[in-house]
Amino acid sequence: MKKTMGIALAAVLLASTAAKAQQGEIKVGEINSYSALPAFTDPYRKGMELALKEINDAGGINGKKLVIISKDDAGKPAEALTAANELISKDGVVMIAGGFLSNVGLALSDFAKQKKVMYLAAEPLTDAIVWSKGNPYTFRLRTSNYMQAAMLAEEAAKLPAKRWATIAPNYEYGQSFVAVFKDLLKKKRPDVEFVAEQWPPLNKIDAGPVLQAIDAAKPDAILNATFAGDLVKLVREGNTRGVFKDRAVVSYLTGEPEYLDPLKGETPEGWIVTGYPWYSIDTPEHKAFLDAYQQLNKDYPRLGSIVGYSTVKSIAAALKATDDHSTEGLLKAMKNLKVSTPFGDIVYRAADHQSTLGAYVGKTALKDGKGVMVDVVFKKGPDYLPSEEEAAKMRPAE
């Protein structure tokens, strides 16, 4: 009898301890393409870990420990949805975050709408996620396709080039970016025409035929939206064939270290790019981030590091802004939420749930056998977004 009572008492104490532990933490689910796109997601994870450490070292979320439970979607929407279901049903997270590819982000956004759970899209760039397919449950951190297209179109319009060709991966990100760039450039330069386009499959580019078709159209300038391994193949083949010689190139994302670094001495010079010149940003916010990141990781940050760090900082800001961590409470907290990031303060706009995170634009150059960005200018996010009133009209009725 005494032994039975002892076992029962031990079980009660264990249950009580587990309950107290759960009460002392807040769990958030995070999903990303860790195995499919490690060049971006490894630094992204390191950025998240730094932010999480800073938050918990400073007392967590009003005294409660912030816990991030991460899962790998392998770059596949179906696997992302499986992970999201597990995080909600088994792990008991209060919200989900993350995503890299635009098609994965759109799948998670629809999941959030169906399950009535908040989703903070970290990296997906498609405009549809906040505009044509926007919903009350989804917010987006990253500087969008529209915003970066507007920044690049502004520079492209200054070029004498009239005949343009485009190269972009054949999925939502590439399709939507090319469409908005064309529209914005034509508004600034009605005299331009687009004479060729190539749509290689993601991660499967056959650069020779792609560049042969582009060269045959005799464009004055090329718009490129390939990245990662596809970008390396494109540059290598283009350099060999001389396709980029005497032609202006505007290249989306190419200045991000995770995509620029692998090019090494093959880096083409003078391309107009968006990216992250961590070595030349001299602001107090970035310096504090850079020092902390390098101390923790013994490595320099990539753009993924900024996204991961700012994602967790955004999550923490929302959780701290309200004691109501239900979906309804978090959605209310996110609207017009102000967050400090290494790129300065941002706001999540109430009208379309897009953050005002800006981006760096510059040109590629070679320095000590390595690709860098030069002539860098920081473009403020709000300057490259439609007004909130205009953006609200692009969203489905809620």
Residues 317 and 302 in one domain: yes
Give rounded-to-5 percent helix, strand, coil for the chain.
45, 20, 30
Residues whose CB is less than 8 angstroms from the CB of residue 390 and which lie 6 or more positions away in sequence, other chains included: none
Residues 115 and 54 in one domain: yes
What total number of domains does the chain contain? Answer: 2
How much is the pLDDT for 15? 42
Rounded Cα distance between 145 and 274, Å, is 11
How much is the pLDDT for 398? 74
How much is the pLDDT for 16? 42
- Ranges under pLDDT 50 in the chain: 1-22
Residues 176 and 209 in one domain: yes
Rounded Cα distance between 229 and 231, Å, is 5
Residues 71 and 196 in one domain: no
Residues 166 and 94 in one domain: no
What is the pTM (predicted TM-score) of this model?
A: 0.93
Residues 222 and 330 in one domain: no
CATH number of residue 185's parent domain: 3.40.50.2300
Residues 126 and 228 in one domain: no
Residues 45 and 127 in one domain: yes
Decide if 28 is inside a domain.
Answer: yes
Decide if 123 is inside a domain.
Answer: yes
How much is the pLDDT for 397? 86
Residue 61 exposure: Cα atoms within 13 Å on the Cβ side: 27
3-state secondary structure 136-204: CCEEECCCCHHHHHHHHHHHHCCCCCCEEEEECCCCHHHHHHHHHHHHHHHHHCCCCEEEEEECCCCCC
Decide if 18 is inside a domain.
Answer: no
Rounded Cα distance between 192 and 300, Å, is 40
Residues 359 and 321: beta-carbon distance below 8 Å: no
The boundaries of the domain holding residue 318 are: 24-144+282-356
In the numeric block, which tokens belong to residue 393?
């009209």
Decide if 50 is inside a domain.
Answer: yes
**Radius of gyration, alpha carbons of the chain:** 23
